[in-house]
Copies of this chain bind each other. A is one copy, B any other.
Amino acid sequence: MSKRRPATPKCCSDLTAAINPRFFKALCDPTRVAILVRLATCGRPCTVSEVANGCPIDVSVVSRHLAQLRDAGMAAGERRGKEVYYAVRFSAIASTLRHLADAIDACCPPTWSKPKRN
Closest approach, in angstroms, between the C-beta of A40 and any C-beta of chain B? 5
Our pick among B9, B19, B43 for the contact of A33 (Cβ within 8 Å) is: B19
Question: Is residue A61 within 8 Å, beta carbon to beta carbon, of the partner chain?
Answer: no
A115 and B24 within 8 A (CB): no
Taken together as a complex, chains A and B put the C-alpha atoms of A28 and B16 apart, in Å, by 13
B115 and A41 within 8 A (CB): no
Question: Is residue A56 within 8 Å, beta carbon to beta carbon, of the partner chain?
Answer: no
Taken together as a complex, chains A and B put the C-alpha atoms of A98 and B95 apart, in Å, by 10
Taken together as a complex, chains A and B put the C-alpha atoms of A87 and B104 apart, in Å, by 13
Question: Is residue A44 within 8 Å, beta carbon to beta carbon, of the partner chain?
Answer: yes
B28 and A24 within 8 A (CB): yes
- Can you add 15 more A-B contacts, CB < 8 Å, to A45-B115, A91-B105, A97-B98? A12-B37, A19-B33, A21-B33, A28-B28, A44-B114, A88-B108, A94-B104, A94-B105, A94-B108, A95-B101, A97-B97, A97-B100, A97-B101, A98-B101, A101-B101
